[in-house]
């Protein structure tokens, strides 16, 4: 089953080209017919169809066109949106599940509103929001059965990231539904860089009420009792990396009385947690001035500025310099940006991870602990582990994996699509 489900039944982008039959279809919708042997994952709920799984496409084809997906026997199995130039050719938002049921797709706008409401209730069941935490993921795309849509709650603001052309078309509906569900007056809407590139969506960044260009719009949020100020005018992705929330708290438990390096710190969450837990010293490193400004402000907000130093530096260069100077840390966390944007970038990404991890390991004090992370979905756990083994070998060290952490419960995935579980955070020691 694992091989059957991976990346939409094994049909990857570039594995063959679907035959396009132009002309109107009977009901005005595009029909996407799957290749023989490719339909099983979609009958049981897989949300993505890659071009290699498609035999032919009929209808008036355009970016983000509504489509019916059918198996090789012409049995309709679901509804989605077809984007011929996108990495994911079809994103399915509804599955028929069995031919024993009539093919009666629900209304899309009503389905969006219903699933946003379901997402809110799920987070409430998880205890979110709470008095200590009001920044979290409300909608995690396929994990909440809304492919192409990410919504994070940033205190009083909802941050919406559009990841597909079809969700862009329903932008006004989404904004209204999120406002109704959360009671948020302000909704920031952005288009992901990946969607802009692969689905030919113009990049936009809007805030309702409108944010003037260059204006700072600070909103205060809380994570595990720590205060942060997020600048909506300088957001990366949805503005705050809530996927590391649990891991920041876990890692802090090992940092009392220790020297800590927080590399690629962004708003400084790992370092802040470590300092609050009693770390002897914390160095935060990033190249983003807005992120470092946010990290320094968070340190001041939480009364931790005396224990933390935030530096603007390239992490690779900084680690090289510190290794040459003989400096080391007892606790290191490296949480770099996504190195692999697609399957074609995996080898290059693994080389970058290896270089970074080798340098970090070289500055880890004897008996120290290191948390090494990857948010690249295309890099598997097996590949990540092999990279760490090779990085340690360069230093004539064995890498001992103590714990493997991932994304928290507010970042759900569907079991049929394990590739949605992207975050790897491994606690390691050297031997």
Instruction: Say which CATH number the domain at 210 has.
Output: 3.30.750.80
393 and 258 share a domain? yes
Q: Give me the CATH number covering residue 320.
A: 3.40.50.150
Give the residue numbers annotated as catalytic, written as ranges.
375
Asked whether residue 236 is domain-assigned, the answer is no
Domain membership of residue 59 as a residue range: 2-102
Helices within 191-342 (DSSP H only): 193-198, 245-252, 269-276, 289-301, 315-324
Q: Note whether 423 and 308 are same-domain residues.
A: yes
Report field, pTM of the whole predicted structure over 0.85: yes
3-state secondary structure of 301: helix
Residue 97 and residue 128 share a domain? no
Summarised one tens digit per residue, pLDDT across range 24-45 is 555 667 999 999 999 999 999 9
Task: Summarize pLDDT for 216-251 with one digit per residue, the tens.
Answer: 578 999 999 999 999 887 666 567 899 999 999 999
Peptide bond into 413 cis (omega under 30): no
Q: Is residue 226 part of a domain?
A: no
355, 323: one domain? yes
Specify the number of domains making up the chain. 3
The verdict on 315 and 415 lying in the same domain is yes
User: Is beta strand 90-95 parallel, antiparallel or unpaired with respect to 76-82?
Assistant: antiparallel
Angle formed by the axes of helices 171-182 and 108-125, nearest 10° = 30
* 252 and 398 in a common domain: yes
Q: Is the pLDDT of residue 406 over 50?
A: yes
CB 421 within 8 A of CB 413: yes
Would residue 231 count as lying in a domain? Answer: no
Q: What are the tokens at 54?
A: 């498609």
Task: Quickly count: other Cβ atoms within 10 Å of residue 233's Cβ.
Answer: 17
What local confidence, expressed as pLDDT, does residue 218 receive? 87
CATH for 66: 2.30.130.10
Closest CA to 137 of 320, 314, 149: 149
Which among 109, 125, 43 is positioned nearest to 76, based on CA atoms? 43
- 375 — pLDDT class (breaks 50, 70, 90): very high
Q: Do 392 and 254 share a domain, yes or no?
A: yes
Q: Is residue 125 part of a domain?
A: yes
pLDDT at position 124 over 80: yes
Q: Are residues 157 and 255 located together in one domain of the fold?
A: no
307 and 215 inside one domain: no
- In the predicted structure, residue 340 carries a pLDDT above the cut 80: no
Q: Are residues 155 and 140 in the same domain?
A: yes
> What percent of the chain stands above pLDDT 90?
70
Q: Is residue 234 part of a domain?
A: no
Task: Say which range, 94-103, 198-207, 323-332, has the weakest mean pLDDT.
Answer: 198-207
102, 129, 152: which is the final residue of a domain?
102
pLDDT over 60 at 348, yes or no: yes
pLDDT at 59: 87
The answer, yes or no, to whether residue 213 has pLDDT greater than 90, is no
Average pLDDT, integer, range 400-429: 95
pLDDT of 210 > 60? The answer is no
Which pLDDT band holds residue 376 (cuts at 50, 70, 90)?
Answer: confident
Strand partners for 66: 81
Query: Do 89 and 130 share a structural domain?
Result: no
Answer with the one of 81, 102, 123 that is the final residue of a domain.
102
**Residues 414, 266 share a domain:** yes
Note whether residue 230 is domain-resident: no
């Amino acid at each position: 089953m694992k091989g059957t489900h991976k990346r939409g039944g094994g049909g990857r982008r570039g594995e063959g080209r679907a035959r396009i039959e132009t002309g109107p279809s009977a009901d005005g919708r595009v029909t996407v017919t799957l290749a023989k042997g490719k339909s099983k994952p979609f009958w049981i709920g897989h949300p993505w169809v890659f071009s290699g799984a498609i035999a032919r496409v009929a209808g008036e084809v355009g970016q983000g066109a509504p489509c019916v997906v059918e198996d090789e026997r012409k049995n309709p199995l679901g509804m989605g949106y077809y984007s011929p130039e996108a990495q994911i050719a079809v994103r399915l938002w509804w599955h028929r599940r069995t031919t024993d049921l009539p093919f009666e797709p629900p209304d899309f706008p009503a389905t969006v509103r219903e699933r946003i409401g379901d997402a809110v209730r799920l987070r409430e069941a998880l205890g979110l929001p709470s008095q200590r935490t009001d920044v979290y993921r409300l909608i995690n795309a396929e994990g909440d059965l809304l492919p192409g849509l990410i919504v994070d709650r940033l205190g009083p603001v909802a941050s919406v990231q559009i990841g597909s052309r079809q969700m862009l078309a329903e932008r006004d509906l989404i904004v209204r539904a999120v406002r109704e569900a959360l009671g948020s007056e302000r909704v920031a809407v952005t288009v992901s860089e990946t969607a802009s590139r692969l689905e030919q969506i113009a990049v936009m960044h809007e805030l309702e009420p409108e944010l003037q260009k260059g204006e700072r719009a600070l909103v205060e949020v809380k994570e595990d009792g720590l205060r942060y100020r997020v600048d909506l005018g300088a957001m990366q992705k949805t503005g705050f990396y809530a996927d590391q929330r649990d891991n920041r708290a876990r890692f802090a438990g090992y940092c009392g009385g220790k020297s800590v390096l927080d590399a690629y710190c962004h708003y400084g969450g790992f370092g802040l947690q470590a300092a609050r837990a009693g770390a002897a010293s914390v160095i935060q490193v990033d190249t983003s001035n807005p992120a470092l400004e946010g990290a320094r402000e968070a340190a001041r907000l939480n009364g931790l500025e005396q224990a933390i130093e935030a530096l603007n530096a390239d992490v690779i260069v900084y680690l090289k310099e510190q290794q040459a100077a003989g400096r080391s840390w007892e606790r290191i966390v490296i949480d770099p940006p996504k190195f692999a944007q697609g399957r074609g970038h995996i080898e290059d990404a693994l080389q970058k991870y290896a270089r970074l991890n080798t340098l970090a390991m070289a500055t880890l004090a004897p008996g120290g602990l290191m948390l090494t992370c990857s948010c690249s979905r295309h890099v598997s756990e097996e590949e990540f582990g092999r990279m760490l083994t090779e990085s340690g070998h360069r230093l004539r060290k064995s890498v001992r994996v103590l714990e493997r952490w991932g994304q928290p419960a507010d970042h759900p995935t569907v079991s049929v699509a394990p590739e949605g579980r992207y975050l790897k955070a491994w606690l390691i020691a050297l031997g």
